[in-house]
Amino acid sequence: MLLFSAEYLLSEMASYVLPFARLSGFLMTLVVVGSRNLPARFRLLLALSITVLVVPVLPATSPITLFTGESIILTIEQTLIGVALGFISRLMMETFVVGAQIIAMQSGLGFASLVDPANGTSVPALGQFFLMMTTLMFLAVDGHLMMLRLVVESFHTLPIGSSQSFLPMLYEIVLWSKWIFATALVMALVCIASLLIVNISFGVMTRAAPQINVFAVGFPLTMISGLILVWLTLVYFVPHFEGQLVKASALMCTIVGLDC
């Protein structure tokens, strides 16, 4: 009959609880897995399964006693690190939602809105379309597995209980968020310039023939022009996605100290 002391059991639990905190925080904010469509029980079981598989290959750390002030602080810290790493994927997805909103507002397609089931907010239908394409491409290139691998490798470069602070990590994420608006604007720039030319043409037509009702004629044509421009510019969607995914992975490597 095997007998285990309470200290041994608590130390073994600590070796699993702290990695579980980082992995569960990551899965909580990761796209697709962290959406409202998946129940919290599924994310919990997934985090537990990954933790059981990952812990045996993690580097040894100094023993930590559970149910102490130090362990509580470490658990909160590891959870925040995981949340920050998973939040990068959300920022990457929001890039294309912002770009679609810019196009929709310029072309009049913003009147058609849908409720985003992942966030529970109302977004333009075009933004939901771009979000669906981005999500499918993210899963097709195994982006979720790539980010999960970076989180697992972060235990080697950013071990549990290290003296490194996660506050610089949050600062790097804030600085990187500028790429959301920069990439979204570049993606929508062709549509914005083309629709500006269309609106100028309607202005010239109204000046030449004041009898024309610009609202009755211009608004439908602007919407049709917007749809045609979206269709023509979809060929550039993949390069924008690849560039944003590379930037997101580079940010994760920088945060956790990996040489990617």
pLDDT tens profile 209-242: 777 766 667 777 888 888 888 888 888 888 889 9
> pLDDT for 15-66, tens place per residue?
788 888 889 989 988 888 877 777 888 888 888 898 888 888 887 776 676 7
What the block records as the tokens of 197 is: 């030319």
Determine the pLDDT at residue 257. Answer: 78
Residue 26 CA to residue 86 CA, distance in Å, equals 5
Closest by Cα among 149, 112, 137 to 32: 137
Residue 155 CA to residue 153 CA, distance in Å, equals 5
> pLDDT for 236-259, tens place per residue?
888 889 989 999 888 888 888 777
> pLDDT for 145-204, tens place per residue?
888 888 888 888 888 777 666 677 788 888 888 888 888 888 888 888 888 888 888 778
Question: Mapping DSSP to helix (H, G, I), strand (E, B) and coil, where does residue 124 land?
Answer: strand
Determine the pLDDT at residue 165. Answer: 66
What the block records as the tokens of 64 is: 């930590």
- Is there a contact between 137 and 146 (Cβ–Cβ < 8 Å)? no
Determine the pLDDT at residue 116. Answer: 65
Closest by Cα among 231, 227, 233, 222 to 186: 233
> pLDDT for 5-29, tens place per residue?
666 677 677 778 888 888 998 998 8
For Cα atoms 186, 148, 240, give the angle at the middle one, nearest 5 degrees: 15
- Is there a contact between 99 and 184 (Cβ–Cβ < 8 Å)? yes
In angstroms, what CA-CA distances link 239 with 137, 164, 242, 243? 12, 35, 5, 6
pTM of the shown model: 0.82
Q: CA 79, 80, 86, 87 torsion: positive or negative?
A: positive
> pLDDT for 121-142, tens place per residue?
677 778 888 888 898 999 999 8
Residue 235 CA to residue 81 CA, distance in Å, equals 36
